[in-house]
Chains A and B, each alone.
Chain A
Amino acid sequence: MAGYLVRRLLAAIPILLVTSILAFSIMHLAPGSPIDAMVGTSGSLTEEARAVLEEKYQLDRSFVEQYVSWLGGVVRGDFGTSISQQESVMALIAQRFPRTLLLTLVSMIASTLVATAVGTLAGKYSRSWVDYLVTTGALIGISVPPFVAALALILLFSVKLSVFPSMGYVSLAENPIEGLRHLVLPCLTLSLLITGILIRFVRAEVLSQMQQDYVRTARSKGIKEPKVVYKHVLRNAALPAITVLGLYFARYLAGTIVIEQIFTWPGIGQLAFQATLSRDYPLMQGCILFFGLIYVVINLFVDILYAFVDPRIALD
């Protein structure tokens, strides 16, 4: 077990390194000097001003030198300074991340609960009207793009019914009621997609588990049907579900850009988007690296969790 953990940790390091290289290279992909991109066409630079800027952002050194210098800072927790906001990138990320985390976490928890309950029903009563209803619902959930669902929800709940606000963020700590009200629509939008995906997955898993021998054994032992499903089938279906959940959790921590933009939710997705628009390279690099980090860390965590739940994995 310890060997497996160490191996997984070691395997993650090269991935993180390559991710950091990719994140860093973005700045240098643009044709022309990054200075041009940063300054834009708003007036030309004198030679001196250009030299000063180049030295400030270390652009006069070689690519490798710049990368090493940046990486050195990253390891110490210094992601550089944002050009557009003149603040430490790390500080900006730290400020914004909890809000995205809140949104994603609440959506995932809600989606998991609903999807497990509904997906299990659909898998158990396969080919019944319940199943068809659920499957169709899930299909619609994954087919309607998030921003379309968002607009529809805003139109219905915010404009016509005026029940929930369509914009902005209120901290739960400051004002729980308002905070929750602002949370509803973005979470609902995100949940629609995740629930659709999870329902299909749970249903498929439950279906395949129901055909296994141990189900027949359990039934012939006289175990009541609900217990068969919830205690035995679900437990076995839960294992691959952990992997899928972890994958999508990591994905949606970064994938909320569109939703945050529509609902003006000041999270890290919106930060990354604005950084991209304003060509704020240090901020862009920091965000991209941060997302990559989260993804690798969560996957690592999921793998380790999986190994604890199913020890056979560790023998790999």
Chain B
Amino acid sequence: MNARDSELRRAVRSFFRSKSATIGLVLFMCVVSIAILARWIAPYEPLDTDFTSILSPPSAVHFFGTDQLGRDVFSRVLHGSAIALEIGGLSIAIALVFGVPLGAIGGFYGPFTAGTIMRVMDALLALPPLLLAMTLVVILGPNLLNTSLALGIVYVPRFARVARAAVLTQSHAQYVEAAFAIGRTRSAVLFRHILPNCLSTLIVQSTVEFPVAIITAASLNFLGVGTSPSTPSWGLMLSRGRQFMSDFPHVIVFPALFLSVTVLSLNLLGDGLRDALDVRGRI
């Protein structure tokens, strides 16, 4: 336990030494706070229309102005953050839960099991992610849960691949040999000993895929096949607001800004984590 503690402390210190990584973390924490507190700090309900003040520019009453149905853009943007983070987080969680065990098995068990699993993973990887997710959502029905599920399924092979590589690397270590020597079963060695040592790789992979998931989810919502039309997602705000953007840019500027900053903060965070944990991850 001692060695792991100081390793953690070293990683943390290394992380905060990087200015950009710290900025990323702070920004991300801001977005998370906004998402959690949206319900309370939003001055208006995101779905409340007000046809007397359509497309009004930012003012003291409506900080970010109103959209084409008179809805307060500020409140909608705030709620949008919750939606983006929920879909992103849930999809990555699903991909982790299913992808990591599959990949781990694929890296540790016999050639037939591993071969079959990884062939299926490779085939899934060959299919374009956006199209695949879109197809699944269209089949399952457009709501937040299904969108997260669809994205999760799409990202399973990515995590499986990374988990397999990590497990393969670890499988040559001495402690594995030792564990077998004292009589541990194959699955116990895999899940109790090897996987915990792959944690840093998996964390880094998650922070790499999280912003990608958010962008893909936003793209789905932009195309109109993500969540239902009444959900105040950023992607939907952008697609609906497009026709007004030349004269009323505020309708798309603010969701665009928030979306970009959220992804940016996650990318900074991911870069910082990768450097701090000293993992040679994929780009």
- For B261, give the chain A residue with the smallest CB separation: A143
Apart from A155-B249, A288-B135: 7 A-B pairs, beta carbons within 8 A: A26-B135, A147-B219, A147-B235, A254-B128, A277-B138, A279-B138, A292-B127
Q: Is the interface of B mostly helix, strand, loop or mixed?
A: helix
In the complex, how many residues of chain A place their beta carbon closer than 8 angstroms to a beta carbon of chain B? 48
Set of chain A residues within 8 Å of B223, measured between Cβ atoms:
257-258, 261, 273
Q: Quick one: which of B114-173 are within 8 Å of A by CB?
A: 119-120, 122-132, 134-136, 138-139
A244 part of interface (Cβ distance < 8 Å): yes
Q: A244 with B135: in contact, given A155-B249, A257-B223, A291-B127 (CB under 8 Å)?
A: no
Q: Quick one: which of A246-271 are within 8 Å of B by CB?
A: 251, 254-255, 257-258, 261
What is the distance, in angstroms, from B38's C-beta to the closest C-beta of chain A?
21
- What 0/1 pattern do residues 172 to 190 of A give for CB contact below 8 A with B? 0000000000000000000
B139 touches A151 (CB 8 A): no
Set of chain B residues within 8 Å of A21, measured between Cβ atoms:
123
Set of chain A residues within 8 Å of B267, measured between Cβ atoms:
139, 142-143
B222 part of interface (Cβ distance < 8 Å): yes
Set of chain A residues within 8 Å of B127, measured between Cβ atoms:
19, 22-23, 288, 291-292, 295
A30 touches B139 (CB 8 A): yes
Q: Which residues of B contact A (CB under 8 A)?
A: 119-120, 122-132, 134-136, 138-139, 211, 215, 218-219, 222-223, 225, 235, 238-239, 242, 245-246, 249, 252, 256, 259-260, 263-264, 267-268, 283
B256 touches A151 (CB 8 A): yes
Set of chain A residues within 8 Å of B259, measured between Cβ atoms:
145, 148
What is the distance, in angstroms, from A195's C-beta to the closest C-beta of chain B?
13
B283 touches A197 (CB 8 A): yes
Give the CA-CA distance A155 to B128 in the complex, in Å: 29
Give the CA-CA distance A200 to B275 in the complex, in Å: 14
Give the CA-CA distance A142 to B268 in the complex, in Å: 11
- What 0/1 pattern do residues 263 to 300 of A give for CB contact below 8 A with B? 00000000011001101000010011001100110000
- For B264, give the chain A residue with the smallest CB separation: A143
Q: List 7 A-B contacts (CB under 8 A).
A: A18-B119, A22-B124, A22-B127, A29-B136, A146-B215, A291-B131, A292-B126
A14 touches B119 (CB 8 A): yes
B128 touches A251 (CB 8 A): yes
The 8 Å CB contact of A145, one of B128, B129, B219, B245, is B219
Give the CA-CA distance A150 to B127 in the complex, in Å: 24
Give the CA-CA distance A18 to B115 in the complex, in Å: 13
Set of chain A residues within 8 Å of B136, measured between Cβ atoms:
29
In the complex, how many residue pairs between chain A and chain B have their CB atoms under 8 Å apart? 120
- What 0/1 pattern do residues 193 to 232 of A give for CB contact below 8 A with B? 0000100110010000000000000000000000000000
A276 touches B135 (CB 8 A): yes
Give the CA-CA distance A272 to B133 in the complex, in Å: 13
B130 touches A258 (CB 8 A): yes
A255 touches B245 (CB 8 A): no
Set of chain A residues within 8 Å of B245, measured between Cβ atoms:
151, 155, 159
Give the CA-CA distance A22 to B136 in the complex, in Å: 12
Set of chain B residues within 8 Å of A261, measured between Cβ atoms:
223
Set of chain A residues within 8 Å of B119, measured between Cβ atoms:
14-15, 18
- What 0/1 pattern do residues 141 to 170 of A give for CB contact below 8 A with B? 011111110011001000110000000000
The 8 Å CB contact of B260, one of A144, A159, A258, A292, is A144
A18 touches B260 (CB 8 A): no
Give the CA-CA distance A18 to B124 in the complex, in Å: 8
What is the distance, in angstroms, from B220's C-beta to the closest C-beta of chain A?
9
Instruction: List the 8 shortest-distance A-B pairs measured between CB atoms, nearest first.
Output: A254-B128, A18-B123, A143-B264, A292-B126, A295-B126, A19-B123, A143-B263, A159-B246
Set of chain B residues within 8 Å of A197, measured between Cβ atoms:
283
A140 part of interface (Cβ distance < 8 Å): yes
Give the CA-CA distance A283 to B259 in the complex, in Å: 33
Set of chain A residues within 8 Å of B122, measured between Cβ atoms:
15, 18
What is the distance, in angstroms, from A42's C-beta to the closest C-beta of chain B?
18
Set of chain A residues within 8 Å of B238, measured between Cβ atoms:
147-148, 151
Give the CA-CA distance A296 to B123 in the complex, in Å: 9
A145 touches B260 (CB 8 A): yes
- What 0/1 pattern do residues 1 to 25 of A give for CB contact below 8 A with B? 0000000000000111011011100
Q: A146 with B219: in contact, given A276-B138, A279-B138 (CB under 8 Å)?
A: yes
Set of chain B residues within 8 Å of A251, measured between Cβ atoms:
128
Give the CA-CA distance A98 to B100 in the complex, in Å: 38
Q: Quick one: which of A108-154 are within 8 Å of B by CB?
A: 139-140, 142-148, 151-152
- For B252, give the chain A residue with the smallest CB separation: A151
The 8 Å CB contact of A22, one of B123, B225, B246, B283, is B123
Give the CA-CA distance A295 to B125 in the complex, in Å: 9
Set of chain B residues within 8 Å of A288, measured between Cβ atoms:
127-128, 131-132, 135
Q: A201 with B219: in contact, given A139-B267, A147-B238, A148-B256 (CB under 8 Å)?
A: no
B123 touches A26 (CB 8 A): no
